[in-house]
């Protein structure tokens, strides 16, 4: 079986860990950009994008050796079938978007197209939390990716995982890249864990510059995680997919409808698995979950048609 996979594990470069969705006191977050940068830098992140509502926050002067700021913004527009708004992260935009946040009459396609035109990367944020359905996501085109996991939505509402939304559009022919982000707000509620440093993307890039990180993300040279590490994904001449990873409880090769395969650890944790695929599949993506319920997600591997 011939497969098509943009393989970050085989690409040259170094791994850089970053969060591409976060809010500060510049919009509805509780931490200043300075505090947020400290939190992520001290947690071992390499880069952060502050994506406040309605404004590309000025993060000049917050960079330090080994820690990069990627500009960004989030905007909420349009109207889903349920009447809710589309939330769109504009990663890498340098100027505040020329649209009004919370404009329900604005076609979200105009926002996505604008972000692409100015060299940014449009990401459809937290579709589960937003109340988007499959038709809403199919009505919009040319977005780069979709959040499969959003820490803030998960911690606050238990609606952070949008895996089935993504599989629904892939089955229907779309090829979105898959992102895990924090969407940090820092809401203060008793017993609510801080929604920072819970999810990230690991990007294979030649260096830690905005240009190189953006180029690698645009090409799909990354994977997402809330904990476990995917060490490699290889595809042999027969199309068998092999995965190596940090010790986990399950390794899943997800493909819909009704296909794919899930493997379970027995006496010892799993650190590898392989999967030849099944007839009728159009794609496979890898999900691994550790004993604490933390997950890592590969980008999709497509079967050649
Ligand atoms: Zn949002
Ligand atoms: Zn947000």
For the stretch 252-293, pLDDT in tens is 999 988 999 999 999 999 999 999 999 999 999 999 999 999
CB distance 303 to 283 below 8 Å: yes
Q: What is the pLDDT of residue 218?
A: 98
2.60.40, 3.10.450, 2.60.120, 3.60.21: CATH of 230-303: 2.60.40
Residues 6 or more apart whose CB falls under 8 angstroms from that of 266 comprise: none
- pLDDT for 188 equals 86
| 272 Cα to the center of ligand 2, angstroms | 34
Taking the centre of ligand 1 as the mean of its atom positions, its distance from the CA of residue 155, in whole angstroms, is 14
The pLDDT of residue 297 is above 80: yes
pTM strictly above 0.95: yes
Mean per-residue pLDDT, 104-131: 98
Q: What is the pLDDT of residue 117?
A: 98
How remote is the CA of residue 160 from the centroid of ligand 2, in Å? 12
What ligand has the least distance to the C-alpha of 22?
2
The per-residue pLDDT for 231 is: 98
CATH of domain 13-224: 3.20.20.140
Give the pLDDT band of residue 7 (cuts 50, 70, 90): very high
Measured in Å, residue 250 CA sits from the centre of ligand 1 at 30
Return the domain boundaries, the chain.
13-224, 230-303
Confidence band (pLDDT; 50, 70, 90) for 156?
very high
By the CB criterion, residues less than 5 angstroms from ion ligand 2 are 74, 183
Compute the distance from residue 51 Cα to the ligand 2 centre, in Å: 7
Burial class (CB in 10 A: 0-12, 13-18, 19+), 187: middle
Q: How far is the CA of 183 from the centre of ligand 2 (A)?
A: 5
Look at residue 1 and tell me whether its pLDDT is greater than 90: no
Residue 300 has pLDDT above 80, yes or no: yes
Dihedral sign for Cα atoms in the order 247, 249, 254, 260: positive
Dump pLDDT digits (tens) for 169-223: 999 999 999 999 999 999 989 999 999 999 999 999 999 999 999 999 999 999 9
CA 127–ligand 1 middle distance (angstroms): 9
Nearest ligand (C-alpha, residue 126) = 1
Ligand 2 centroid to Cα of residue 276, in Å, is 38
**What's the CA gap between 45 and 39, in Å, rounded?**
9
Q: Are 80 and 86 in contact (CB under 8 A)?
A: yes
**C-alpha of residue 194 to centroid of ligand 2, in Å:** 15
**pLDDT, tens only, 80-101:** 999 999 999 999 999 999 999 9
CA of 73 to the centre of ligand 1 (A): 10
pLDDT at 14: 98
Question: pLDDT confidence of 23, banded at 50, 70, 90?
Answer: very high
* 148 C-alpha to ligand 2 centroid (Å): 14
Q: What's residue 80's pLDDT? A: 98
Say what the pLDDT of residue 169 is.
97
Give the tokens for residue 110.
């105009």
Dist. CA 147–CA 157, nearest whole Å? 16
Tell how far the Cα of 21 is from the centroid of ligand 1, in angstroms.
9
Q: How confident is the model at residue 18 (pLDDT cuts 50, 70, 90)?
A: very high
């Amino acid at each position: 079986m011939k497969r098509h996979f943009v393989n970050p594990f085989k690409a040259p470069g170094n791994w850089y860990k970053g969060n591409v969705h976060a809010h500060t006191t510049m919009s509805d977050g509780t931490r200043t950009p300075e505090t947020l940068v400290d939190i992520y830098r001290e947690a071992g992140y390499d880069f952060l994008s502050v994506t406040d509502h309605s404004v590309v926050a000025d993060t000049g002067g917050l960079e330090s050796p080994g820690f990069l700021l990627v500009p960004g913004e989030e905007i909420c527009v349009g109207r889903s079938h349920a009447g809710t708004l589309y939330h769109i992260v504009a990663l890498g935009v340098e100027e505040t978007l020329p649209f009004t946040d919370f404009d329900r009459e604005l076609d979200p396609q105009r926002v996505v197209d604008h972000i692409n035109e100015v060299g940014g990367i449009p990401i459809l944020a937290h579709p589960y939390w937003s109340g988007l359905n499959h038709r809403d996501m199919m009505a919009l085109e040319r977005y780069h990716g979709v959040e499969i996991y959003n820490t803030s939505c998960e911690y606050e509402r238990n609606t952070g995982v949008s895996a089935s939304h993504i599989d629904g559009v892939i089955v229907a022919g779309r090829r979105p890249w898959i992102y895990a982000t924090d969407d940090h707000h820092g809401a203060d509620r008793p017993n609510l864990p801080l929604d920072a440093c819970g999810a990230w993307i690991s990007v294979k890039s030649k260096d830690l510059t905005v240009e190189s990180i953006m180029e690698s993300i645009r090409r799909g040279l990354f994977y997402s995680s809330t904990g476990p590490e995917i060490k490699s994904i290889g595809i042999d001449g027969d199309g068998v997919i092999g995965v190596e990873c940090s010790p986990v409880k399950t390794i899943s090769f997800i493909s819909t409808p009704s296909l794919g395969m899930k493997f379970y650890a027995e006496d010892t944790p799993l650190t590898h698995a392989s999967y030849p695929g099944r007839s009728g599949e159009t794609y496979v993506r890898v999900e691994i979950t550790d004993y604490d319920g933390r997950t890592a997600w590969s980008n999709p591997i497509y079967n050649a048609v």
